[in-house]
Amino acid sequence: MSSLQDQNSNLPVQVGGLQNQQYSLQSQLAHQLSTSTGATRPSFEITSLCLSVTPQCGLPVGYPGSYAYAIALNDNGTTAFTQSVSVFLDIKDATRSTDFGFNSSLPQELFPGGTVYLNATSWPQYTNATSKLAPGDQVALAVFLGNLESTVLTHVITCTTETTTFLNDTTMQTATNTECG
């Protein structure tokens, strides 16, 4: 009985040792994969984006348009992202101390060296984005593709519209100019 009790008390120590060996092997494997010249690695970055309270973002990103958000993602790795990869956007507003997130999807497969645009004409209703964001707010955007993340700091765009009316002897003309930044 005493021998069995000794063996039983040593089991947690043995399990801990096996776990340490497992972690060590995982670390060595990850290091080998990251330094291997032939290894394929998924990687992406946010190359440009526009966040707007109302649909004022355009494509190419940065021009006035009719999207609530427009985000350009570039695959800078060696592996493509399929359309079925899970996509999550997380927005933290530092100006108002609010945050929200929502699921999205890739509009097409994202190949190495390629770019795709995540965009929508309105924010998902459950996010309450229009009450959480204001023009000019400083925000952090994190995009998750599967288990990979890319983050960027930006601000919610502010657009101004200027209307000019021209009068002459026979007609009246109106010109409208919208600038966003």
Q: Give mean pLDDT, residues 107-122.
A: 94
Domain for residue 61, yes or no?
yes
At residue 78, the 3 state secondary structure works out as: coil
What is the model's pLDDT at position 76? Answer: 92
**Alpha-carbon distance values, 60 to 20, 67, 116, 118, 152 (Å):** 50, 11, 11, 12, 18
Query: What is the tally of structural domains in the chain?
Result: 2
Q: Model confidence over 83-105: pLDDT tens digits? A: 999 999 999 999 999 999 999 99
Alpha helices in the chain (DSSP H): 2-35, 129-132
Distance, CA of 159 to CA of 15 (rounded, Å): 61
Q: Domain for residue 56, yes or no?
A: yes
Do residue 64 and residue 86 come from a single domain?
A: yes
69 and 1 together in one domain: no
171 within a domain of the structure (yes/no): no
Give the domain range for residue 16. 1-38
Cα separation, 67 vs 97, whole angstroms? 24
Mean confidence (pLDDT) of the chain: 82
